Amino acid sequence: MRRLLIWAAGTLVVLLVLGVGVFALWVSDPYEALPGSVERAEEAVEVTVGEDGVVLEPPEGEVERAVVFYPGARVEPEAYAATWAPVVAETGVGVVIARMPLNLAVLAPGRAEEMTDRFEAREWYVGGHSMGGAMAAYAAGGDGLTTEGLILWGSYAVAGAGLAERGDQRVLSVSASEDLLVDPGTVRDRSGDLPDGAVTVEIDGMNHAQFGDYGPQTADGTPQIRNAEAWERLTEETAEFLRAG
């Protein structure tokens, strides 16, 4: 029996070490913005890349409405500069794309509270892609930050976020028909965890990775439209939502 216990304990230690090693390898290989992505964003708006994230602001005018955006799991914030830049250019909003510990928003769901000093905006929204959106939902549903609403890209809120009863929160949920990581069916099934009046949109032909500009993503679907078309639709829906606020 003693030998069996020693063997079991040794096996457990080995499994734990292997698990930690696999996790370390997983987080050490994030999805990065494709070459030229940030530079293209800079053609339309002002972009500042810092240790704590990426800030996008319109070249002219004061920012009265701003968004703190959480990246998807293992995606660097620079990868969303290209998809947010046209929204900033059209609406004049300011956007702060947060840099997360190990590129995992689940490790810092309250990060938005630390980033609202980037703009002297009168209205703040939070948002995110994939895991980032789920964590942003907790920020919108909590009491630590005063927000006007939530923007979900290829993501959904869970009941624990407490949003269903928050009639003061405007919500936009954009899904993609070819998204196999957060499929539209799951997004629809979770719509009951959003407040009444939430705006839900599905972009036909778009996949999960096209919410950013970081290339193909493992286990994702095959896009049926080009990035330019996907981003145009995403810009239209997001800009319309923000302008209506």
* pLDDT tens by residue, 224-243: 999 999 999 999 999 999 99
Enter the tokens of residue 130: 């994939």
Backbone dihedral angles phi then psi of residue 115, each to the nearest 5 degrees: -120, 5
Q: Domain 33-243's class?
A: alpha beta
Map out the domains of the chain as residue ranges.
1-30, 33-243
Q: What is the DSSP string of 91-155?
A: H--EEEEEPPGGG-GGG-TTGGGGTTTS---SEEEEEEETHHHHHHHHHHHSSSS--SEEEEES-
pTM: 0.90
Model pLDDT for residues 107-145, shown as the tens digit of each residue? 999 999 999 999 999 999 999 999 999 999 999 998 888
Backbone φ and ψ for 9, nearest 5 degrees, come out as -65, -40
